[in-house]
Amino acid sequence: MKDEVALLATVTLLGVLLQAYFSLKVISARRTFRVSPPLTTGPPEFERVYRAQVNCSEYFPVFLATLWVAGIFFHEGLAAGPGRIPRSPGVPEPVRSPDSARPPGAAALCGLLYLLARLRYFQGYSCSAQRRLAPLYASARVLWLLVALAALGLLAHFFPTALRASLLGRLRTLLPRA
């Protein structure tokens, strides 16, 4: 079980550390621009750093929820092991050792891309409001991809086993490495 969620847990911890970094940057900006708590207004340079941190914090719960749901449920039909969904007739099982269950890599990779885009967003917004836009759009695309993976995973989870096996068999013919 732990091996199957280790990547998700790693990305989650990296996300928490990134949020802590953003908070430290706000503390530093408060000192630099002499904006004492609880004030949230000050020079534009401070307000950009503050807004960047707040915007990243607002999306963090959505990111975490979609990361874990996508990682667990989208991966569910692709993992090796006791709960594996049977393949369609005529599609051979790949040869794997018993301990070679694949971790939920698609969701973890999306999570890393999201965190990288959010870091670039924070850095861009801290410099100028205009420089936040490209990373903002990139992080939104990755977040929507996570939402889609989570939704597909949950939808597949509730399909009858035969229908799920048939759909996965068709998917495997389109994506041979899946």
Tokens linked to 67: 């990361």
Which amino acid type is present at position 63?
Answer: F
**Residue 97 carries which DSSP code?**
-
| Residue-level pLDDT at 60 | 98
| Residue-level pLDDT at 169 | 80
| Residue-level pLDDT at 86 | 45
Q: Is 31 a catalytic residue?
A: yes
Tokens 């890599």 belong to residue: 105
* List 31, 34, 96, 170, catalytic entry: 31
| Residue-level pLDDT at 83 | 43
* List 30, 118, 132, 164, catalytic entry: 132
| Residue-level pLDDT at 178 | 47
Pick out the chain residues at pLDDT < 50. 77, 79-88, 91, 95-101, 178
| Residue-level pLDDT at 166 | 83
CA distance 141 to 135: 10
